[in-house]
């Protein structure tokens, strides 16, 4: 096995961070085997170097190495790209085509952004990992392939599994060995080394003197958060190399090239979007609970009101009403305890006191709320009369045609016929 320094020189890798060195060690250790490897890390940290190291140090180094960006291939064609297709398998398939797994037989395939694969493609990939078999699109003939798969992703795979965007069984099959590349902000001692390397490369490329940083500029460079990681650092180095006439760059000049947004600072991270959504869900659940409790209390008040109307046991019901009012409103305002307020809330009229002189003895009713039944009966009669009147008018307007009258009234013809018989119209 090659030592780490030799690997760095061979693949032009810069850095002495312990986490970065450990990632290179794992890549060198796993290379001679055929174990599947999953490379994780933020976008721009240089994950593509790991599969190259693994392929170059493996027994497959003389066979093909194919890198596939899964996020750049449309969902409708990715199966064809990976596994090939038969002639006439779909519109535009004018001839049989070999996919990457067939072409790279005996070699290595690097699946970058593997977390972007559609679920149907994930099933096909799982079959390749388990027994080396695959089907071309539009074919029923099973083919064999001997391919080493190295995958990479910058997303949280456990979150993707939780959201059912990535198969859990495929994750564990891909991540037999997982290699994590640390972000640039965790490799502060390597930042200046990388900048010097990029500045030297661009000086030679554009035939200009190499950019040099002052001490205060180096401090600023190391304190910057670098959300775009090595890719962003390389872009900044190229901009300064091309645009700055003064080849000695201080902190003020460097700061003019650094983004000024909040994500660029090295301050503690704010609460994430996921946490905000979680807090909103909790508040919504609390609000729903309060509304359901209020509905329950109003239902109890209605039941007590009906019992009062039916039984007339006013003292007992009033006591229960007072308890409910205290439960709902508390003791914050004395007005809730008054008879006037309770009458307003319950919409109860004052009891009518009858004397023998007002009505005959046979009409005296001990129930102070007996009028409720009379009101209900009058309303019922009134509604019936209105219904009869509407049916008559609808029949007259439609010249006795029941179907048209029923349509106008918004009821079925059968219902109209029944009501005509019921009211003897």
Same domain as 82, residue 65: yes
**What pLDDT score was predicted for residue 330?**
55
Same domain as 191, residue 176: no
Same domain as 289, residue 170: no
pTM of the model: 0.61
User: Does residue 395 form part of some domain?
Assistant: yes
User: Does residue 352 form part of some domain?
Assistant: no
pLDDT tens readout for residues 360-382: 444 445 555 454 444 444 444 46
User: Does residue 392 form part of some domain?
Assistant: yes
Read off the pLDDT of each residue in 69-82 and give the average, rounded to a whole number: 92
- Quote the domain boundaries for residue 402: 370-422
Question: Rg (Cα) of the chain, in Å, rounded?
Answer: 40
pLDDT tens readout for residues 310-336: 665 556 556 665 665 565 555 544 444
Read off the pLDDT of each residue in 46-53 and give the average, rounded to a whole number: 95
Same domain as 170, residue 48: yes
Same domain as 319, residue 190: no
- Which of 182, 206, 233 is the endpoint of a domain? 182
User: Does residue 91 form part of some domain?
Assistant: yes
Same domain as 118, residue 209: no
Same domain as 209, residue 191: yes
Same domain as 336, residue 246: no
Residue 59's Cβ-side half-sphere holds a number of Cα atoms within 13 Å equal to: 7
Lowest pLDDT segment from 56-70, 143-157, 386-400: 386-400
Same domain as 115, residue 238: no
Domain count, the chain: 4
Same domain as 102, residue 247: no
Q: Residue 268 pLDDT > 50, yes or no?
A: no
- The CATH number covering residue 245 comes to 1.10.8.60
- Which of 138, 161, 182 is the endpoint of a domain? 182
Same domain as 143, residue 21: yes
Question: How deeply is 176 buried, as exposed, middle or buried, from its count of CB atoms within 10 A (0-12, 13-18, 19+)?
Answer: middle
Same domain as 231, residue 161: no
User: Does residue 92 form part of some domain?
Assistant: yes
pLDDT tens readout for residues 163-208: 999 999 999 999 999 999 999 999 999 999 999 999 999 999 999 9
The pLDDT mean for the chain works out to 82
């Amino acid at each position: 096995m090659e030592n780490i320094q030799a690997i760095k020189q061979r693949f032009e890798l810069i850095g002495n961070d312990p986490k970065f060195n450990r990632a290179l060690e794992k890549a060198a250790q796993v290379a001679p085997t055929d174990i599947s490897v999953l490379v994780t890390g933020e976008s721009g940290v240089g994950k593509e170097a790991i599969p190259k190291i693994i392929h170059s140090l493996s027994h497959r180094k003389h066979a093909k190495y194919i890198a596939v960006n899964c996020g750049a291939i449309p969902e409708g064609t990715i199966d064809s790209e990976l596994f090939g297709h038969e002639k006439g398998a779909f519109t535009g398939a004018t001839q049989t085509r070999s996919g990457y797994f067939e072409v790279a037989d005996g070699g290595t395939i690097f699946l970058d952004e593997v977390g972007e694969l559609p679920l149907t493609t994930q099933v096909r990939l799982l079959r390749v990992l388990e027994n080396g078999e695959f089907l071309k699109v539009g074919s029923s003939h099973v083919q064999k392939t001997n391919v080493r798969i190295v995958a990479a992703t910058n997303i949280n795979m456990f979150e993707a599994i939780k959201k059912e965007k990535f198969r859990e069984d495929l994750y564990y099959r891909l991540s037999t060995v997982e290699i994590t590349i640390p972000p640039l902000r965790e490799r502060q001692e390597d930042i200046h080394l990388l900048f010097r390397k990029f500045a030297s490369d661009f000086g030679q490329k554009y035939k200009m003197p190499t950019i040099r940083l002052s001490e205060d500029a180096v401090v600023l460079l190391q304190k910057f958060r670098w959300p775009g990681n090595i890719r962003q650092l390389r872009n900044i180095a190229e901009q300064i190399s091309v645009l700055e006439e003064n080849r000695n760059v201080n902190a003020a000049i460097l700061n003019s090239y650094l983004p000024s947004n909040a994500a660029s600072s090295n301050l503690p991270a704010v609460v994430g979007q996921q946490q905000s959504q979680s807090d909103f869900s909790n508040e919504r659940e609390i609000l729903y609970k309060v509304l359901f409790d209020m509905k329950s209390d109003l239902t109890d008040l209605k039941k007590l009101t009906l019992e009062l109307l039916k039984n007339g046991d006013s003292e007992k019901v009033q006591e229960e009403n007072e308890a409910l009012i205290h439960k709902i409103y508390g003791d914050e305002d004395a007005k809730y305890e008054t008879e006037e307020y309770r009458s307003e809330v319950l919409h109860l009229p004052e009891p009518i006191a009858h004397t023998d002189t007002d009505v005959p003895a046979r009409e005296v009713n001990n129930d102070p709320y007996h009028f409720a039944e009379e009101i209900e009966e009058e309303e019922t009669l009134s509604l019936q009369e209105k219904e009869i009147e509407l049916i008559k008018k609808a029949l007259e307007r439609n010249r006795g045609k029941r179907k048209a009258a029923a349509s106008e009234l918004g009821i079925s013809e059968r219902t109209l016929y029944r009501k005509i018989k019921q009211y003897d119209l």
